[in-house]
Structure 1
């Protein structure tokens, strides 16, 4: 049974989501403020954390950042604030997806299914090491390196790199990368993909060398083996 932590201060909404998730056979626990939610998130193991942005005590962005300091648990951010700045802030803080309020419960369930499918794919991948030239990814330890140099990546950058390295020579459109890395119907524009590809290149490419990730103008991106 999948175990979900819901951190949401609107009690009526929290109760509604909790009942719907339990109806779908998810074990669901609710925290109503940022401090207790963070404590629960760090103390126990969860398959997914549903995190409201606006919380008493500690806001969702700070909760997300502190969780990311020690855990890679998937985090879906729930919020009524739907500006591009708010969405990017949530994703940059380490959230895996962003669901603007109000939302249909069917959409939330669809997003959760995407997260669980991604987890299952990673768990079933028997290759512990992916490599492309001098670049390698230790899937078990989640360590990215070039030769002897360890490369520090954010969770989003790591997911993007993994998509490329698990699919060498595959041409990805921006829409496909958005769906693969950010999740089903992510509430971000495709130009966010361009931004994160640039971030990733800055970290994994050899200065002055050819980029590992090639741009196909008008089509998307590819990492050639």
Structure 2
């Protein structure tokens, strides 16, 4: 697919390299070198994907991501020289859909971009038009989530995960299964990315995220989406 990609990278050589790879793949690009410029351009002319460096001048990438997540579900791929797991999870917790540490290979970068664009393309969404699990409705074509008729704004990563869970309400998925089903063969980040997305989703769809009754954990196995309006502890296996 041909997409419009905004590159927010203060290293001009890195930005140019990314631009060349994207345009060689048939995408249209725009480049900015600071956080405020990234915010302005997204608001004026929203792209299909934002590649966002963490260490931007004036306004860093984490702040940009935090602000944008209040306004849009635009797919965000964060780039950083920081390599600790805490940094990675912090970026994801703010709403980034993916996170890459420098240095990285251009092939890996393009694989991540393809995955994000595919996940955020409603026309590419598999399965039935409408998915339902209790009060929750997931529309893969419109890329919408409704809870008791109220719109729930999800990032592309959260939406992809919720779509898989809603496709088989009541089924328990392991972290590895959720990674494979939402990210295909793109396995550069470990299973904790699933935990971060689950936590973010619970804050959006649960009355009490600390005692979830819709999106529950099955000890030692993984996660499931309850498929009925009624939620009860049955055999002590579930965390609520």
Q: What does 1:18-57 correspond to in 2, within 5 Å?
A: 18-57=19-58
Q: 1:102 to 1:55 in 2, by over 3 A?
A: same
Instruction: Give the TM-score normalised by the residue count of structure 2.
Output: 0.77
**Aligned residue in 1 for 2:7:** 6
**Aligned residue in 1 for 2:144:** 142
Structure 1, unmatched stretches of 5+, are: none
SS class of match (1:49): strand
- Kindly state the Cα deviation for residue 160 of structure 1 after the two structures are TM-superposed: 3.1
Structure 2, unmatched stretches of 5+, are: 228-240
Aligned counterpart for 1:219 among listed residues 211, 218, 221? 221
| Alpha-carbon distance in 1 for matches of 2:25, 2:196 | 36
- Kindly state the Cα deviation for residue 37 of structure 1 after the two structures are TM-superposed: 1.5
- Kindly state the Cα deviation for residue 219 of structure 1 after the two structures are TM-superposed: 3.0
| Alpha-carbon distance in 1 for matches of 2:76, 2:108 | 15
| Alpha-carbon distance in 2 for matches of 1:11, 1:33 | 11
Instruction: Give the TM-score normalised by the residue count of structure 1.
Output: 0.81
CA contact (8 A) 2:213 2:226 kept: no
Q: What does 1:47-126 correspond to in 2, within 5 Å?
A: 47-120=48-121, 123-124=124-125
SS class of match (1:50): strand
SS class of match (1:176): helix
RMSD across aligned positions (CA):
3.0
> Which deviates the most, 133-142 or 105-114?
133-142
| Alpha-carbon distance in 1 for matches of 2:200, 2:69 | 18
- Kindly state the Cα deviation for residue 144 of structure 1 after the two structures are TM-superposed: 2.6
Q: 1:192 to 1:50 in 2, by over 3 A?
A: closer
The count of residues paired between Structure 1 and Structure 2 equals 221
